[in-house]
A and B are shown apart, each in its own frame.
Chain A
Amino acid sequence: MRVETSELAQADFDFVRALVKQHSSISLDDSKGYLISSRLLPVARGEGFESVAKLIAHLRSRAHTRVHTQVLEAVATTETSFFRDFHPYEALRDQVIPDLLRKRRETTRMLNIWCGACSSGQEPYSVAMVLRQVVPDIDTWTIQLLASDFSGAMIERARDGIFKQLEVNRGLPAHLLVRNFDQHGASWWIKEEVKRMVTFFQLNLDREWTCIPQVDLLFLRNVLIYFDVETRRRILRKVRRHLRPDGFLIMGGAETTLSLDDSFKRVQFGRAAFYQTGEGSGA
Chain B
Amino acid sequence: MTKKALVIDDSRAMRTILSGILGELGYEVEGAEDGGQALLILNSGGPFDLALVDWNMPQMTGYDFVCEVREEPRFADLRLVMVTTENEISRMSEALEAGADEYIMKPFNKEMLLEKLMLLGIEADRD
Contacts and interface: CB of A to CB of B under 8 A. Distances in A.
Given A174-B96, A174-B102, A86 B112 contact: no
Interface in B93-112: 93, 95-96, 100, 102-105, 108, 111-112
Contacts of A165: 87, 105
Contact of A178 (B92, B108, B111, B112): B92
Interface in A21-44: none
B119 A183 contact: no
Q: Contact residue range for chain A?
A: 10 to 19
A177 B112 contact: no
A169 interface: yes
A48 interface: no
Nearest to B89: A183
Interface residues of B, number: 19
Interface string A112-152: 00000000000000000000000000000000000000000
A273 to B, nearest CB: 14
A181 B87 CA distance: 13
A175 B96 contact: yes
Interface in A179-220: 181-183
Interface of B: 87-89, 92-93, 95-96, 100, 102-105, 108, 111-112, 115-116, 118-119
Given A170-B115, A174-B95, A174-B96, 7 more contacts: A83-B119, A86-B115, A86-B119, A165-B87, A175-B96, A178-B92, A183-B89
Interface of A: 81, 83, 86, 165, 169-171, 173-175, 177-178, 181-183
**Pairs of residues from A and B, 6 with the lowest C-beta to C-beta distance, nearest first:** A174-B103, A183-B89, A171-B115, A169-B105, A86-B118, A178-B93
